Amino acid sequence: MSHRGVPGGRSPGPTRCSPGPARRASRWRLLPAAACPAALACLLAACGSQQPVTSGTRAAGDSVASPAALRSPDPATASPTPSPAPTAAAKPLAGITVGIDPGHNGLNGTDPSYINHIIWNGRENETCDTTGTQTAGGYTEARYNFNVARYLRAALRADGAHVVMTRPDNNGVGPCVDRRAQILNHSGAQVAIDIHADGGPAWGRGFTVLEPVADGPNDQVIGSSEQFGADVRAALLAHTSMPVSDYYGSHGVQFRNDLAGLNLTTVPKVLIESGNMVNATDAALLTSPRFQRQFAAALLAAILQFLHK
């Protein structure tokens, strides 16, 4: 996602966005190493290259775990009562629903009349969606967003979560940004993440966490969204080589009041601009499957930290 009208000489991109009021998040916390379970290690070891199953359903075997070993009774004192059946070890996200919105869609550019129609974003009019940005080599933001979402979805399911995504693939148009917010609001999600990449000035590097500003619908989740944003920031610094942005926001955080996904949310949520696709160094990372898995692993760590304090 690119922006225009941002102070600091940012170059315009294909996406219509403008900055909201900026202020620093009140505190940053370091992410404990214990917050990262086996699924995170699996992502970092590149096992996330397997294709996850269709969105909205649990992966086969999600509830299966190794049974606890039972102690053999002393034959002299053994009771005739049968031993209870072993129980499966609980997964850290069992019973939890997580929402993922991979920004844009792969065919948005084929239907300008649809993506340019006007919706209400909670404060003002906004276009339904945009095409997103891309690297100099033509690698699209929509493709990056969906790849990271797939890796994250697989890791969340491995930890027992139910995952709801706003689009099932990268071969369609839309949905509009207000509809994406509704999907996640109605999903029962305890937390949600909007995944994007930026189209900033060629000299600029780094990620920015976009956080909501209170405007009515989102009033009850402002504090929790800020806390989740701090967890995302800390996890990205701990688990990836992407620095905080040197051209957008303050210390890697930007508050926005002009984006439907943040204005309309009733779920704790932030939007992550993963890096600058126009910058050659960031682009080399963003287009790398290894980095995409690392980024998904960092988001998993942030979600675990947020949900299990």
Whether 226 sits among the annotated catalytic residues: the reply is no
Q: How many CA atoms lie within 13 A of 46 on its CB side?
A: 3
Comparison of pLDDT for 298 and 90, the residue scoring more: 298
Structure tokens at 199: 């189209």
Q: How confident is the model at residue 91 (pLDDT cuts 50, 70, 90)?
A: very high
pLDDT at 163: 98
**Which three-class secondary structure state does DSSP give residue 293?**
helix
CB 163 within 8 A of CB 39: no
- Which comes out higher in pLDDT, residue 12 or 169? 169
Instruction: Annotate 229-265 with DSSP letters as a single string.
Output: HHHHHHHHHHH-SPPBPSSSSBTTEEEESS-HHHHS-
Choose, from 126, 141, 226, 273, the residue flagged as catalytic.
273
The average pLDDT across 283-307 equals 98
Residue with the bigger pLDDT between 203 and 29: it is: 203
Q: Per residue in 118-175, pLDDT tens? A: 999 999 999 999 999 999 999 999 999 999 999 999 999 999 999 999 999 999 999 9
Give the rounded percent of residues in the chain with a pLDDT score beyond 90. Answer: 70
**CB distance 278 to 197 below 8 Å:** no
Structure confidence at residue 49 as a pLDDT band (50, 70, 90): very low
pLDDT, residue 89, reads: 73
pLDDT category at 85 given cuts 50, 70, 90 is low
pLDDT at 2: 58
Q: Which of 117, 262, 248, 245 is nearest to 175 (CA)?
A: 117
Query: Is residue 107 pLDDT above 80, yes or no?
Result: yes
* CA atoms of 278 and 276, how far apart (whole Å): 5
Q: What is the pLDDT of residues 222-251, one digit of tens each?
A: 999 999 999 999 999 999 999 999 999 999
Q: What is the pLDDT of residue 105?
A: 98
The answer on pLDDT for 39 being more than 80 is: no
Q: pLDDT grade, residue 90 (50/70/90)?
A: confident
Q: What is the mean pLDDT of residues 53-58?
A: 36
Task: Name residue 68's amino acid.
Answer: A
> For position 79, what pLDDT does the model report?
46
What was the pLDDT predicted at 37?
53
Tokens of 189: 């999600």
pLDDT per residue as tens digits for the range 190-213:
999 999 999 999 999 999 999 999
Q: Are 196 and 295 in contact (CB under 8 A)?
A: no
| Number of residues in the chain | 309
Dihedral sign for Cα atoms in the order 10, 19, 191, 127: negative
CATH of domain 35-48+92-307: 3.40.630.40
